Chains A and B, each alone.
Chain A
Amino acid sequence: MSGTKGIRLRKIKISEGVLSILPVIFILIFIRFYPMVMAIYRSFTNWNGLYRSDWIGLVNYIEIFTNSPFWKLLRNSLVLLLSVPLQLIIGILVAVLLYEEVRGWRFFRSIIYLPQIIAAITIGYLFRVAFSLDGPINIVLRDFGLNFLAIEWLGNTGTALFVLVFCLTWFSIGWMAIVILGGMSKISPEVFEAAKMDGANYWQRTFHVVIPMISRTIEYAIIMSMVWTLTSIFAFIYAITAGGPGYETSTIDYMIYTKFYQPGRPYGFASALAVILLIIILSITVVEMRITNKASEWE
């Protein structure tokens, strides 16, 4: 008697669990999985968004690798990824400063995170104004007699990319610092006290105590920041350089956007770009996890 009741209860439990996740499965299949599979399929066609969608094999990919600004886009992404180590280093330094809990640290913590609350388009516009030919940066440079430095920052490839790296770093420091601080809060304070007792100074504490103990947090922060840099900086580029001059500051995701509006609608080509972006992101995640696992084996 009680046995059958138990089985029945368990049966209800099973269907409850499955029913509970049905909505999320449903939405992920329609909004994420189906479009991704379609993008992969369309990348082998000459799709124009309408009825033309003939199988053309690898033509789009060959076109991308041989006859498109793809390598330039990849170079730009690599340059922009330089902001990740910068964010990380500054973020760790700031987190260690916040950890000391000097007067007003809670206030500083909220202000340091503030850029993350401002829309990317707003921040991008502020940077565009700041680095424009007669903008604040050049005004200050001229005031200090550094006229030769007061250049057209956004008109040259090198300096325009530099401005973008600067902007992404400035934007992300707060996020990094808070994530690292979260990792540090899991270290017991005694470890710090012991290090202090042993006479370890600020730098030694940072490099020999903090960094090794939060390697998992650092790994997480690096992956997230790299993926973010490769996929989510559309609004910054749009506001600061609009990908120009030419394709000099565009990235893969920005080019997908420009293809959307291009006459003739080369959506098959754009889908192939999307697939390449997807592959890059997946490989970064996998490689990064492998490296960290290896590193923790050596420890």
Chain B
Amino acid sequence: MLSKFNQKLTNLVIFLALLGLSISNLYPLFYMFMNSVKDRTDYYVNPFSVWGLKLTWENYLTMISQFKILNLFKNSFIISFFSIVLLLCIGIVASYAFAKLNFKGKNIIYLLVLATMFIPVQATILPLYMFFSKLHLVNTHWSVIFIYVGMFIPEVILLMTSGFRGIPDEMIEAAKLDGAGYFQVLRYVVVPMGRPAIILCIIFYFIVTWNDLFSPMILLQSMDKRTVMVALAALLSRYSGDPTFQFAGLVLASIPAILVYALFQRYIIKGISLGSTK
């Protein structure tokens, strides 16, 4: 009886602790949203006010009409989309080889591929900038896409290889006996069976590439090529007098990643707990 009461009390304490932590994570986002729909004077009177305000969407309209944030969204989407496509194409064939095929030096090459994870992008950015400028790729989306593929391919291979190892060899052998060639094995066995790892990579690297700042900031300086994060970084240092406008931009830029997370958070949480990288 007493221990049951104790258990209930413990559960209540745990519940409250988790609730407190969740509020500390949600409140800043709420604060950002509330103030983005406020009048600037209302914001300076009391940034915490929630009730009895005249809400205005003007900041959002300015973001779209003057700041052209939709155009920036397009740039970010192009970069995320092609980075993911290339990561998947290169990642799936390589992970299939590392997980299911035998060749000389496989384990050493696998470790070397993973080891490149620890090369910081800052250590490579200057030579890369010069390399890309020789190829006339600076200020093109391809420069950032290639950097992302190079940066994230080891993590993608790590995730997919451990996913593909779970595919039974018999299924691949059976498909081969049925006359399936290399690409047919990939298409009809490896990709369907390895779906969880593939979906995780798509979601995870969409969020990561969408939010990244460093590489696009260096490589995309022209106004019409910038990603949404690069443009916002510039906005934060320019319009320092108008926080409500800046909040509106940050809210808009957060929406795609939050939406994807809301829809697929199960995959992400599972992937992180399996040991994908930070």
Contacts and interface: CB of A to CB of B under 8 A. Distances in A.
Chains A and B form a bound pair: yes
A interface, over-half SS: helix
Contacts of B17: 97
Contacts of B1: none
A24 B90 contact: yes
B23 to A, nearest CB: 9
A252 to B, nearest CB: 8
Given A182-B275, A278-B123, A119 B21 contact: no
B127 A112 contact: no
Given A13-B101, A117-B261, A136-B48, A94 B213 contact: no
Chain B contact residues: over half helix, strand or loop, or mixed?
helix
Interface string A10-37: 0001101110110111011011111110
B167 interface: no
Contacts of A108: 18-19, 21-22
Interface in B42-59: 47-48
A102 interface: yes
B11 to A, nearest CB: 5
Given A27-B146, A114-B26, A34 B272 contact: no
A126 interface: yes
B28 interface: yes
B146 A274 contact: no
Contacts of A225: 278
B25 A115 contact: yes
B71 interface: no
B131 to A, nearest CB: 7
17 contacts: A23-B93, A24-B157, A27-B90, A28-B116, A31-B146, A49-B130, A94-B21, A104-B18, A114-B25, A114-B261, A117-B261, A126-B28, A126-B250, A183-B273, A228-B278, A242-B237, A274-B122
**3 smallest beta-carbon distances between A and B, as pairs:** A182-B273, A31-B150, A17-B103
Interface of B: 10-11, 14-15, 17-19, 21-22, 24-26, 28-29, 31-32, 47-48, 89-91, 93-94, 96-98, 101-104, 106, 109, 113, 116, 118-131, 146-147, 149-151, 153-154, 157, 182, 207, 210-211, 213-214, 217-218, 229, 232-233, 236-237, 243, 246, 250, 253-254, 257-258, 261, 265, 268-269, 272-275, 277-278
Interface of A: 13-14, 16-18, 20-21, 23-25, 27-28, 30-36, 38-39, 42, 49, 94, 97-98, 100, 102-105, 107-115, 117-123, 125-126, 129-130, 135-136, 139, 170, 173-175, 178-179, 181-183, 185, 202, 217, 220, 224-225, 227-228, 230-232, 234-235, 238-239, 242, 252-253, 256-257, 260, 267, 270-271, 274-275, 277-278, 281-282, 285
